[in-house]
Amino acid sequence: MNGAADVRFFPSSDGDLAYLDTGSGDPVVLLHSGYVDHRFWHRQIPALAAEYRVIAPDVRGHGSSANASRPFRWADDLAELLRRLDAGPAVLVGLSMGGVIATDTVLEHPELVRAVVTCGAATGDFRYTDCWHKGLQDEYARTLGAGDIEGWADVFLRGVAGEHRAVADLDPDIPRRLREMALRTISKHTPGEPDWHVPVTGSWPRVPKIDVPVLAINGGLEPADLLAAADRLAREVPNGRAEVVEGVGHYPNLEKPEVFNALLLDFLRAL
């Protein structure tokens, strides 16, 4: 796939933000999950760039992008990038945190969005309710507070594997790549620094007003409450549907890239 030499920067209103811009055609934006960067999509970028213009940013505070120094919203950062590149309306494809960015953006900047694909996400209003995820969040906080970055990375990878699998059950290339990206991102930050991100709230009541096609792709091993939220999103928009990739967890694009890519390309070609 494209390497670091293809990463570009644009001067946002609060520091330089990195992005990959490759291929040609209708724009498709790939929005990665938390703690990683645009390389998260290494199994999707070549497949999509054969037919589309692929824009894959490093979200603020991740990868090569600047940290925040004042309050910001993910959707506004993305809108600023798309306007700078004259790349709207675009199809937004996001996983986990990236899925929330996609739904935030279609709600806050609908003129810039042609369609939405969410994975491992619904809207920013969704919160895990099961004890396993709450325990994981406590471990994130404990290890970071203690400055145990390697321990934090171990917890992060356990979250990738999910409640019913071990990290060793994954293709070894997946945790290797994720660990490298996550350690790079977390090293950009210091314990106790301000969290300047301002969430978009009150999204569920606005979901029925989303008037672009929406596809929710989720791994079959995701928690029941997340799968239910994704189904709700697909059901409440005028033109939505949900697909499940069986036998995988939070990252279907990495665990079953051929299946994921086929679902995504079929959706894009039908627009």
Distance CA 225, CA 33 (A): 19
Collect all residues with Cβ–Cβ distance below 8 Å to 179 and sequence separation of at least 6: 153, 156, 157
Q: What is the DSSP letter of 70?
A: S
pLDDT for 158: 93
Per-residue pLDDT of the chain (271 residues; tens, 9 = 90+): 444 558 999 999 999 999 999 999 999 999 999 999 999 999 999 999 999 999 999 999 999 999 999 999 999 999 999 999 999 899 999 999 999 999 999 999 999 999 999 999 999 999 888 888 888 888 988 998 888 899 999 999 999 999 889 999 999 999 999 999 999 999 999 888 899 999 999 999 999 999 999 999 999 999 999 999 999 999 999 999 999 999 999 999 999 999 999 999 999 999 9
Identify the CA nearest to 269 among candidates 101, 76, 91, 80. Answer: 91
β-strand pairing of 113-119 with 214-219 = parallel
Please tell me the pTM assigned to this model: 0.96
Which pLDDT score, from 0 to 100, does residue 146 have? 83
The pLDDT value recorded for residue 191 is 82
How many whole angstroms separate alpha carbon 112 and alpha carbon 73? 16
- Specify the pLDDT at position 3: 47
Query: Which CATH number is 4-128+195-269's, of 3.40.50.720, 3.40.50.970, 3.40.50.1820, 3.40.50.1000?
Result: 3.40.50.1820
Domain ranges within the chain, ordered by starting residue: 4-128+195-269, 131-186
Residue 90 is encoded by which pair of tokens? 């675009």
The pLDDT assigned to 269 comes to 98
Is 134 within 8 Å of 128 (Cβ atoms)?
A: yes
User: Closest by alpha carbon to 113, among 97, 95, 91, 83?
Assistant: 91
Residue 50, pLDDT score? 96
Residue 65 has what pLDDT?
98
